[in-house]
Structure 1
C-alpha cells in the first residue's frame, strides 16, 4: 500500500466521542460496556447459536508492537523466548554494529503516541523473509531499520487494551504470509494466495488475472447470506477497488475502502449486475461521490446500523475501512480505535442481534514491525530443515514463481508470517481471556466452515494441521456473564499532525510487561518430546508424539548459533501420523545443546556431552507424562543405561510449586517424580550431580481437566518467583560447580560469576577469579573456563549481569 503525503486535513479533536469514552470519566467505552452487558442467545449451547459472523481486517500492526505489554499475553515478559545467534534472547536484535531493543518512542510534544503518524517500514516479501532469515529471526533491525522495534502501551492505545480486557485476545494468531498486504488478505477471503492449480502465488500487491474460487462463492453454494460493508469512495478505480488512495491528493483519505476488498480484483467480480449472486461484494455507502469525504463521518456506518436495527444483518459480513481508519502507517492507531468502536456501537445497538453475533478484528500483516515469536513454517525437504507428517504441497514458492512443496532448490516458504493482534468479541468470549492456540487468516475461514458446514478446498493440508479454527476462543456452554469495570482514557487524534519518521532505538533492556493473570482458553494440545543420546551414532535421537486433537508445529534451535532451526509438523487424529523421529547431530567434541519450542510456552532443552569418543558423560535421560486430572507432570528419571547410581537434581525454575530435590536412581532403574503445576504450568531443570554438562529443561502447560484455566504466571514474573538463582557444590577448586537460572529479561551470554574475598562487594578488578555463565539455565564446572585458579580459602560468589557489576544473585559462600 502507498503512503500519504505529509500534509493533512484536520482531525476532529474528540476521536472517540461517539464511543462514550472520556478521560474525565475514566469509564470503559460505551461500546464495550454495551457489548459486555448483552448476554448470549443460548439455544443449543453450541457453535450453532452463532447467527452472524462479522469480520474486520485492519492494516499493518504486529502483536508485540500493539500488545507486547498487555498483561497475561506472551509479550515482552515471555519467560521462554528463543535465543538467537548472538546468544541473547530474541528481543535484543543485532543492528549495524550494535543492537536494538523494543522501545516506546517519544512522540512530538503534546501528541500521544497513539495519535502520532509514524511512517511505515519495509513489509515486502523479500524484506520480511530477510528479517525472518531462514528462521533464525535475528535480522529484524538490519532488514527494517531499528524502527522495527517500536511499540505502544496501554496509554497509547487505551481502547484496544480495554477491548482485550473485556473480551478474548489471541496471542498465537499469525498473518498467513511472510509478505505484504494483498496476498495476506487473499488468505482471508480465499484460503490461499494463488498457490492453487492453474495459478501462481502472489507475493506482491499487484494482482492481475485472478479468478480462483473465493469464500463468497462457497457461501452462495451453501445458501449462506453475506455482504460487504465499505464505502465506495468515487467508485471503482482502474484496479477494480473502491477508492484506493494513490498518493496524488487528499481525496479518499476519509472515505473509500483503500482497496482492501481485494476480491474485487477477481474477474468474476467485475461487470456485475445488481442481482448477480456476487453483487453483495459491491455493497457500500458512498458518502462523497467526488472522493473527498469529511473527517469522522459516521454515515460510514449507516448501512451496518440499518441492517442491525432491522434484523437483516447477513450471516457473514466483511468490513473494509477507509484509508484514514485502517491503521496502515503512517495513519495513527487511534483512528482505527474510533472506527472499531463505531462498528461495535452499530452491532450492539440491537441487543437481539448482538446476542447471536461474533465480531472478529485482526490485522492483515505486521508492516515491518517486530514480533518476538518465530512463526511456524513448513520444513524444506531439499534443504533438510526438518520433517512433516503432512503434505507441504503448495506451501513454498519455487524459483520459477510457481507453487512448490519444498523439495527443490530455490523453494522459499510462504508462511506463516509474524504474529498480529486478533480480538474475538462476542457474548461467548467475554472476560478478558487469552487464547494461545496457533491461528492464521485461514482460521477465520475454518470458523465459517465449522459453523455453516462448508469446505474451502484452497487451504493446504499443512496449514489445516498447524492452524486452528478459532472455536477454542469461545465458551458456548457456560459463557461469562461478568461485566468488569476496566477504565480506559479517551483517544484523541492530533488535529494537525504530520508524518513522523520513527526515531532510532535507544533503550538497552527488555520492556516491562504489565503483571497480572487472566483466564485462559482451553486448548486442544497434548504432545511429548523426548531425547536419547545415540553414543555409537553420535546423534541425539529426538522423538515427538502428538496425542492431542490438534496438529502441532515444533522448532528445534541450537541456542546461540547461526544454525538454521529445524521445523517439525505433526498431524492429529485417527487417520494422521502422529509421531516423528529425527537424529540431531552432535558437535565434533560430542556436545549438544538443543531447545525445542512449541505453542503455548512449550520448551524442552536437551544439553550434554558424551565426549569426542562417545564414552563419557551422563547416561541419564528424562521423560514426561501429564496428569491431566490435576494439572501436574510426572517426570521419569531414567538411569537404565547407567552402570552406577545417578543422582538427579530437580529445580523449579519459575513457579515455586516444588522444593529442590535430589533423587538417587540405581543403575538400570527408573524413578518417577510428581512435579506440581501452577494451574498446569511447569518449568523444571533436571541435572546430573556428577556431570555439569548434562541438563534437561522441561516447561509448558498441562491442559488440566479440572480447576481453573489460567495464563502463565511467569509471564512478566507476575508471581514474583522467576528470579535469578545461583548455587554451588564442591569443596575444591577442581570440583567447584555452579548451577544457575536466570529469567530471559536478565539473560545475557556475558552474565558471569565473580569470586570475591569473603564479605567483599562486587567491584571492577576486585575479583579473585571469574567465568561466564552464558545460558538461561545451566551448570558450570568452574575450573573448566575460569580465568585463574583459586587458592584455598573462604570466598563469596556473585552472579553478575552482562559483563558488568550489577548483581543478579548472591553472595553464595564457598570454601576451597
Structure 2
C-alpha cells in the first residue's frame, strides 16, 4: 500500500512536530524506530555477522550545513577551531571589506527551509581549491559567494536529526576530493579518480575513455553478490545520459538516477548482455520509460522491497536516487529525507534481513557549502610544506593534468575535501553515537575489504594511512537493543515550490550549537607531539610519534597569519614510519607561535621567544603521557635545560576539572603532574611565571581502555565551563601581567584589557590605560604594549570583546 504524500502545509507541521517530539520525548519517525527496534543477528560478534551492506550516496551538502548544530558533534560549537589569517576563528570568513558568519536563512513566508529550493553554489575543482587557499581556509566567500555560509537546523531537517539521534553520525567524514560530484563518486566505486597507471585524474564531471578496475569487478572476483537499485529513466545507455535528466521539468526529475551511477561511463559497462557479470549495474525500476514520472512514486523502491521480502538482497547494494530526491541544490532537503525514509522502510520490512544489514548514507561532496574543519592533504616535497612517512604518489595533479607525488612545482593536492554528512545505520551502530575518526569515500571500500576479504589496489598508500575503514563506528560484540516510541515520519517537499535565492546573511556571531553530549565511538588514535626550542638553530624542533593503531594527519599553523600550514602524515606502528620530526623556523626576533591541529579535537600550541640574540626567554618544556585507565594525562614539567628554578603555572581552560596550580621545578629537574580529564577530555595552558611570552597549550582526548566514552563537553560550551577568564600578577606597572583565555565564540584579535577606576564600569573613553589581548589563550606583560602608564593606586581590569565594551571577564582588582 502506498503512502499518500501530504500537502506542503501538512509536511511543515509534521516536520516541526517531529523536531520537537524527537528532542523532548525521544519519539522517532516510524522507519527509524523500526530500524532501531530490530536486534542484530549476532552469531560471531564480529564484522562477519554483516550479511548485507547497502550504500546510498546523496548529493552536495557539507557537514556544517546540515549537522553543524547537532549536539555532541564537532560543529559550530567546536572549542578548538583553526584561526585563519584575519586572526579570527575559521567560521568568521572574510567577505569583501567585511565578514560573514554561518547563518540560518529565513525561508519565504509559509514555507520551511527543508522544503525550500535554494540554489546551488560553485562546486568545481577550481573554486573549491580557491576556498581551501593552500590550506589557509580563508577564501570561502570569495570563491563560493556569501551563500556558502548558510546552514540548517533540526527544525529544518528533522528526519536527519532524528536519524543522528538513533544511530551513528561521523563528524570527520570527508569527501575524497576538493572538487565536484563525479570524481568524488569515482572514489566510492573505484577507490580513485583516475590517478592510476594508464589514466589521469578526473577533476571535472566529463568522463571519457574510462576503464580502470571498479569495485563491482573486485566483488565478482571475490564471489560477492552485488546490485544497483536505481530508476532507469528512459534508458541507461549513453544515448539517454545513463539515466540523467536533460533539463526540462517533464524529463527525469522524479525518476531516473541523475547520472549518479558513474561507473556506467566505463567502457566495460557498455553494451552489457543480461547474463554479463557486470549486468547488475543496469538493474533498476523504470516507472516511466518516456522519462516523465510522477512525484513521490513509491514504486521507485519496488525492487528493493521485493528483494528484502524474498531474502534475495545481495551482499553489497548501491542506490542512486532520482534528481528530485538526491538533495542537490536547488532541490529541497526534505525530498532526500522522504527518499532515505523509504529506503529504510524497505530494508526494515523484513526484520530477518535488517538484523544483518548495514546502511551507509553519505554525500558525494559539499556543493559550495562551508565546513569549518580544514581537511587533511598530503605534504608536497617543497620545503616548508610538511612531511609524510608514507608515499604520497598519485595524490597530486601536475600542471599537465597527470597524477603526481607533489615533487614538482605547481602540483596540486587532490584531497581530502571538506567534511560531508555520513550516517551509519545498522543494528550495531544504534544509540545516537558520534564517530570522530577521519574517513572519506574510500573508507566505504575499506569496510567492504574488511568484511569480504578483498583488496582494492586503486587506493593510494597515503589515503589508506589517513582514512579509516569505518569499523570503529560499529560495536559488533554489544548491539544495542533499545526500542523507542514511534512517531509518524515526515513526508515530502512541495512538488511545485519555486527556486529561491539564498538570502543575504545578517548574522553577526557564531551560531550557538545545541547543548548535550552524545556517546562517542572509541577511536584507534594515540599520538604525541613534542616541541623543543633549538636555540643554536633558531628553530622549534617538532617530534611526532604515533603509537596508535591508525595513521594520523596533523597540521601546523601559524595562527592569525597567511603562512601556509604544514601537513604531516604519520603511519601507525612501532617502526620508523611511526615517527616524524621537523624544524620550524623562529622569526627574526626569535619568536615562535605554532599550533598543531589533529583529529578528534587535538591541539598543541607552542609559543615563546628567545629574543633576537637567542639568549633570552624561558628554557622550559613540557611533555605528555596518557593515563588510558583513568582518562587523565600526565604532564611532565621539564626544567632540565634551566640554570635556575622555574615556576610553571597550569590552568584548566575548558573543563573545570583542575584548579589553577603552580609548581616550582629546580634547575636541571623535571616534575610529573597528574591533570584530570573530563571523561578523557583535557585542555590545559602551561605558562612560565617569569616569561609572559611562553605558552604551551595541550588539548585532546585520552582514549580510555574501557567504559563508555562521551563527546567533548566543551563543544557548544554545554558544561558552561569554557568561559573567558582573566588573571593578573605583578604589583608595579613594569611587572603587571595578565593571563587570559577566551573560548572561540568569544575570541577576537581585537579583544582587549582595559584599566578603569576601581569600582567603575567599563564605558567608552573612561579607561586609564589599555592593551590588546589578541590570542585566544595567552599572557601579556602590560607595559610592553599599553597605551599609557599607570600611577600608583587601585584599579579594576576588564577583559573586553572586539574593540568594544562588552565584558568577557572581570573586574580583576589590581594595585600598582
Q: Same fold (TM over 0.5)?
A: yes
Q: How does 1:200-279 map to 2 (within 5 A)?
A: 200-238=200-238, 241-279=241-279
Give the Cα–Cα distance (whole angstroms) in 2 for the partners of residues 494 and 307 of structure 1. Answer: 30
Give the Cα–Cα distance (whole angstroms) in 1 for the partners of residues 657 and 552 of structure 2. Answer: 28
Contact 2:8 2:494 in 1 (8 A): no
Q: Secondary structure at the match of 2:238?
A: coil
Structure 1 residues 343 and 806, CA gap change in structure 2 (3 angstroms): same
Q: Given the alignment of the two structures, is residue 512 of structure 1 paired with residue 512 of structure 2, yes or no?
A: yes
Q: Secondary structure at the match of 1:738?
A: strand
Q: 2:17 pairs with 23, 26, 42, which one?
A: 23
Q: How does 1:416-435 map to 2 (within 5 A)?
A: 416-435=416-435
Aligned to 1:43: 43
Give the Cα–Cα distance (whole angstroms) in 2 for the partners of residues 11 and 108 of structure 1. Answer: 22
Give the Cα–Cα distance (whole angstroms) in 1 for the partners of residues 307 and 440 of structure 2. Answer: 29
Aligned to 2:24: none
CA displacement at 1:485 relative to structure 2: 4.8
Aligned to 1:13: 7
1:628-662 Cα shifts (integer Å, max 9, x gaps):
11111000000001000000000000001111100
Q: How does 1:123-522 map to 2 (within 5 A)?
A: 123-238=123-238, 241-382=241-382, 384-485=384-485, 490=490, 492-522=492-522
Give the Cα–Cα distance (whole angstroms) in 1 for the partners of residues 384 and 750 of structure 2. Answer: 32
Q: How does 1:588-607 map to 2 (within 5 A)?
A: 588-607=588-607
CA displacement at 1:238 relative to structure 2: 3.0
Give the Cα–Cα distance (whole angstroms) in 2 for the partners of residues 792 and 167 of structure 1. Answer: 62
Give the Cα–Cα distance (whole angstroms) in 1 for the partners of residues 585 and 638 of structure 2. Answer: 22
Q: Secondary structure at the match of 1:264?
A: helix
CA displacement at 1:28 relative to structure 2: 1.2
Contact 1:646 1:665 in 2 (8 A): yes
Contact 2:79 2:714 in 1 (8 A): yes
CA displacement at 1:333 relative to structure 2: 0.1
CA displacement at 1:706 relative to structure 2: 2.6
CA displacement at 1:245 relative to structure 2: 1.3
Contact 1:243 1:291 in 2 (8 A): no
CA displacement at 1:540 relative to structure 2: 0.2
Q: Secondary structure at the match of 1:567?
A: strand
Aligned to 2:654: 654
Q: How does 1:520-559 map to 2 (within 5 A)?
A: 520-559=520-559
CA displacement at 1:248 relative to structure 2: 3.7
Q: Secondary structure at the match of 1:335?
A: helix
Contact 2:30 2:489 in 1 (8 A): no
Give the Cα–Cα distance (whole angstroms) in 1 for the partners of residues 292 and 178 of structure 2. Answer: 34
CA displacement at 1:497 relative to structure 2: 1.2
1:222-249 Cα shifts (integer Å, max 9, x gaps):
0000000000000135367432112244
CA displacement at 1:409 relative to structure 2: 1.1
Q: Secondary structure at the match of 1:673?
A: strand
Q: Secondary structure at the match of 1:23?
A: helix
Q: Given the alignment of the two structures, is residue 621 of structure 1 paired with residue 621 of structure 2, yes or no?
A: yes
1:739-760 Cα shifts (integer Å, max 9, x gaps):
0011000100000000000000
Give the Cα–Cα distance (whole angstroms) in 1 for the partners of residues 239 and 105 of structure 2. Answer: 37
Aligned to 1:5: none
- Number of aligned residue pairs: give it: 806
Contact 1:102 1:510 in 2 (8 A): yes
Give the Cα–Cα distance (whole angstroms) in 2 for the partners of residues 495 and 223 of structure 1. Answer: 42
TM-score w.r.t. length of structure 2: 0.97
CA displacement at 1:484 relative to structure 2: 4.5
Q: Given the alignment of the two structures, is residue 71 of structure 1 paired with residue 71 of structure 2, yes or no?
A: yes
Give the Cα–Cα distance (whole angstroms) in 1 for the partners of residues 600 and 84 of structure 2. Answer: 19
CA displacement at 1:708 relative to structure 2: 2.0
Q: Secondary structure at the match of 2:654?
A: coil
Aligned to 1:762: 762
Which structure 2 segments of 5+ residues have no match? 22-26
Give the Cα–Cα distance (whole angstroms) in 2 for the partners of residues 547 and 36 of structure 1. Answer: 36
Give the Cα–Cα distance (whole angstroms) in 2 for the partners of residues 219 and 424 of structure 1. Answer: 22
TM-score w.r.t. length of structure 1: 0.97
Aligned to 1:6: none
CA displacement at 1:483 relative to structure 2: 3.3
Aligned to 2:580: 580
Aligned to 2:725: 725
Contact 1:638 1:670 in 2 (8 A): yes
Give the Cα–Cα distance (whole angstroms) in 2 for the partners of residues 676 and 280 of structure 1. Answer: 55
Q: Secondary structure at the match of 1:509?
A: coil
Give the Cα–Cα distance (whole angstroms) in 1 for the partners of residues 9 and 164 of structure 2. Answer: 20
CA displacement at 1:370 relative to structure 2: 0.1
Contact 2:546 2:573 in 1 (8 A): no
CA displacement at 1:14 relative to structure 2: 6.0
Indicate the larger mover: 338-347 or 473-482.
Answer: 473-482
Q: Given the alignment of the two structures, is residue 612 of structure 1 paired with residue 612 of structure 2, yes or no?
A: yes
Contact 1:15 1:493 in 2 (8 A): no
Q: Secondary structure at the match of 1:242?
A: helix
CA displacement at 1:149 relative to structure 2: 0.1
1:717-769 Cα shifts (integer Å, max 9, x gaps):
11110000000000000000000011000100000000000000000000000
Structure 1 residues 239 and 144, CA gap change in structure 2 (3 angstroms): farther
Q: Secondary structure at the match of 1:556?
A: strand
Contact 2:632 2:675 in 1 (8 A): yes
Which structure 1 segments of 5+ residues have no match? 1-9
Contact 2:30 2:486 in 1 (8 A): no
Give the Cα–Cα distance (whole angstroms) in 1 for the partners of residues 490 and 277 of structure 2. Answer: 42
CA displacement at 1:479 relative to structure 2: 1.4
Give the Cα–Cα distance (whole angstroms) in 1 for the partners of residues 194 and 292 of structure 2. Answer: 34
Q: How does 1:656-695 map to 2 (within 5 A)?
A: 656-695=656-695
Give the Cα–Cα distance (whole angstroms) in 1 for the partners of residues 558 and 576 of structure 2. Answer: 29
Contact 2:29 2:486 in 1 (8 A): no
Contact 1:114 1:491 in 2 (8 A): no
Contact 1:543 1:579 in 2 (8 A): yes
Give the Cα–Cα distance (whole angstroms) in 2 for the partners of residues 386 and 335 of structure 1. Answer: 43
Q: Secondary structure at the match of 2:786?
A: coil
